[in-house]
Structure 1
Amino acid sequence: MLSASQLADRLAKNVEAVCRHYLSAGRRLGNYWLVGDVANNSGRSLYVHLAGPRAGHWTDCATGQHGDLLDLVRETCDLASFRDVADEARRFLSLPHPPLVDADRLPSRGSNVNDHVSAAASAVDRARRLFRMTQPLAGTVADAYLRGRAIRHGALHPALRFHPCCYYRDLATGVTSSYPAVIAAVTDEVGAITGVHRTYLDSAARKPRSIGKARVDTPRRALGRLLGNAVRFHFPQHGSVPVMVAGEGIESILSLSEVMPAMPMVAALSANHLAAFRLPTGCIRLYIATDADAAGRHGVEGLSRRAQALRIVPLVLNPELGDFNEDLRRLGPERLTASLRSQLAPDDARAFLR
């Protein structure tokens, strides 16, 4: 019977085939396979080495997860025991199955579990250090960028900061550089920072209103422990949150905040993380801000089911265009306010809309 390391080595020799099978939503870029996450969503947060001494090793920049291809099989197939992981790997490699043995004597993957815990803790520490290195948003390139997106009050949110020279590494080439960036703090239910989200900006823009995202493959990146947590706006330090809004993107949620400045809101950063967001104590009514795409619907449906299980009423807020920032920029705050008024409960419309 092959050991765990031997199975991992066999998989590594067929690493691109493994990626094409288990991470079919991704694509090859240079010596890396890029995909959104272990759930096989589109994106570029997770990369797998396809060549060299680290072939078969992977890292998810958004969550801090990493490991070899056995770990990838376990995560993508949602398998709990090493026996199931090994069986799946053998099936893929067309190897014979070994005779059944006592499960207690199977090889343990505990060292890799410890590695994941250590990596997650390290990512949280790096995220906190990065946030400590930031400065207030007001009057910076980041403030100008948000104002160019019709978000005039971004500097009022403590969760948003500015870094003038934030490190960036191209995942395909390994080339490093730095750009100014909007830094958003990801926090847990007690307000502790568990991660950060970075929006890299174009440092060559000549006019403040023309500032856009940096011209790189992934101008948005997250770091730290994100699952269940979010970027929070208008959240009270203590006490319950009876009514709130949850959505994916920071700019979409900030756009809603422009016309509902007192409503507690969170940006979960992706559809998967939206579905997994931990709802606060005392929540009675949850508005879920959706985007007009399939991934957005997945996040809305997942969070709606969890809210209903907790006896929280989920209500969906729909933009008229692609997302709420597009509504704010192209239709204006008055039209956005009118659209929301027809979707909010009457008491909430009176309490929170400008």
Structure 2
Amino acid sequence: MTRLAASDLANRLGREAEAVCRHYLDAGHRQGNYWQVGDVRNTPGRSMFVRLKATVKGPAGKWTDAATGEHGDLLDVIRESCGLTDFADVVDEARSFLSLPRPEPAPATKKRASTPAPSGSAEAAKRLFAMSQPISGTLVEAYLRNRGITALHGTGNLRFHPRCYYRPDDHGPTETWPAMIAAVTDLRGTITGAHRTWLAPDGSDKAPIQTQRKAMGDLLGHAVRFGIADEVIAAGEGVESVLSARQAIPHMAMAAALSAAHLAAILFPETLRRLYIVRDNDPAGDSARDSLVERANTAGIEAIVLSPVLEDFNEDLRRLGIDALRANLRVQLAPPDVARFWLEAA
């Protein structure tokens, strides 16, 4: 990326400076025209100030740490708060943030803050996502890595909640478990729902409870999105299965619809020309595949099915290994996409 392009990206982030701070520096808080936090690595405190609006003193997004004298822009915030070392990863994360969900903060009034959102509603989903934290260094990261998923760039719509409510049934007591929170968004990036995966306290697996996953909000047609949709995307059911395919094709935009029924109904971006269907190897996956192929062809979109060797792509990744996963997926891609996505990933 050229210096001019990096400057343009920093300026785009600056136009949404408060949203950037709420996402990457959530240990801090707004103080007038500034975001106040301990340091650029998101430590609680008050010595670092991020300018939220352009003034005569400078543009939005510039920050200074009064304790150390460090200063920079929002690209530096993303790099340090996420622990990234490669500038290309910083750029990917910034671009993903600009295209992925950024919940609008609720007005700071006691009346609004004390008004509960209807249970299971899109508003409740937005609030749950806003109350959660980025996954870097959390049990969510540990859980995904334990499933072989290490390519976590562009996963800003996944978050961690340390004590997410879980109710086994309508009459049982409410429990709390750590959880992976996935934002479900429409094609504009607006949060319409959330998906919860409750985790074991050490992040080694899902929680030992009867229902380990639950969704809330408006899900039909929408998805959990990774990367910026363009002419080519891949869509599948589960978050883990889609992220596993992304291990082999890290530069392709992907979406997890969360179930076979919702995959069959996923909405297509206007720019879409080729759709890869990341199928699960079961009857429900076959049905979703057939429905989606028919819908895509009717819309003039080429549909290509990506099939796992075992039950799904995460099982392929864990049991067969990344080399076998890559070999299986490579031969299923259209030749132009091998050149566009595969060689860049190598």
Q: In structure 1, what is the Cα distance between the partners aligned to 2:198 and 2:152?
A: 16
1:322–1:289 CA distance, 2 compared to 1 (3 A): same
The partner residue of 1:234 within 227, 250, 255 is 227
1:341 positional shift? 1.1
* Alpha-carbon RMSD: 1.7
Whether the 8 Å CA contact 1:161–1:184 is kept in 2: the answer is yes
The partner residue of 1:331 within 306, 320, 323 is 320
Aligned to 1:30: none
Does 2:296 correspond to 1:307?
yes
Determine which structure has more spread, i.e. the larger CA radius of gyration: 1
Whether the 8 Å CA contact 1:154–1:160 is kept in 2: the answer is no
Whether the 8 Å CA contact 1:120–1:224 is kept in 2: the answer is no
Whether the 8 Å CA contact 1:142–1:162 is kept in 2: the answer is yes
SS, match of residue 265 in structure 1: strand
The partner residue of 1:186 within 180, 184, 187 is 184
Aligned to 2:126: 128
Whether the 8 Å CA contact 1:136–1:155 is kept in 2: the answer is no
1:173 positional shift? 3.9
Aligned to 2:340: 351
1:265 positional shift? 0.5
Name stretches of at least 5 consecutive residues in structure 1 with no aligned partner.
1-118
The partner residue of 2:250 within 257, 261, 269 is 261
1:248–1:325 CA distance, 2 compared to 1 (3 A): same
Deviations 1:182-205 (A, max 9, x none): 1111000000000011100011x4
Q: In structure 1, what is the Cα distance between the partners aligned to 2:231 and 2:322?
A: 25
Aligned to 2:25: none
1:350 positional shift? 2.0
Moved over 4 A (4+): 119-122
Aligned to 2:205: 212
1:156 positional shift? 4.4
Q: In structure 2, what is the Cα distance between the partners aligned to 1:268 and 1:275?
A: 9
1:246 positional shift? 0.7
Q: In structure 2, what is the Cα distance between the partners aligned to 1:182 and 1:190?
A: 23
Whether the 8 Å CA contact 1:183–1:197 is kept in 2: the answer is yes
Name stretches of at least 5 consecutive residues in structure 2 with no aligned partner.
1-116
Aligned to 1:322: 311
1:155–1:295 CA distance, 2 compared to 1 (3 A): same
The partner residue of 1:279 within 249, 268, 282 is 268
Whether the 8 Å CA contact 2:154–2:227 is kept in 1: the answer is no
Whether the 8 Å CA contact 2:120–2:216 is kept in 1: the answer is no
TM-score, normalization: structure 2? 0.63
Aligned to 1:147: 145
Q: In structure 2, what is the Cα distance between the partners aligned to 1:225 and 1:269?
A: 12
1:1-354 aligned within 5 A: 123-154=121-152, 156-171=154-169, 173-203=171-201, 205=202, 211-236=204-229, 241-353=230-342, 354=345
SS, match of residue 154 in structure 1: coil
SS, match of residue 329 in structure 1: helix
1:189–1:322 CA distance, 2 compared to 1 (3 A): same
1:155 positional shift? 6.3
SS, match of residue 277 in structure 2: strand
1:309–1:156 CA distance, 2 compared to 1 (3 A): closer
SS, match of residue 190 in structure 1: coil
1:154 positional shift? 3.0
Whether the 8 Å CA contact 1:263–1:352 is kept in 2: the answer is yes
1:258 positional shift? 1.2
Letter of the 2:217 counterpart: G
Task: Work out the percentage of aligned pairs sharing the same amino acid.
Answer: 50
Q: In structure 1, what is the Cα distance between the partners aligned to 2:184 and 2:132?
A: 14
Letter of the 2:209 counterpart: V
Q: In structure 1, what is the Cα distance between the partners aligned to 2:212 and 2:183?
A: 17
1:273 positional shift? 0.3
Letter of the 2:236 counterpart: G
Aligned to 2:48: none
1:120–1:173 CA distance, 2 compared to 1 (3 A): closer
1:122–1:253 CA distance, 2 compared to 1 (3 A): closer
Letter of the 1:188 counterpart: D
SS, match of residue 167 in structure 1: strand
Q: In structure 2, what is the Cα distance between the partners aligned to 1:172 and 1:300?
A: 34
1:120 positional shift? 8.4
Whether the 8 Å CA contact 1:194–1:224 is kept in 2: the answer is yes
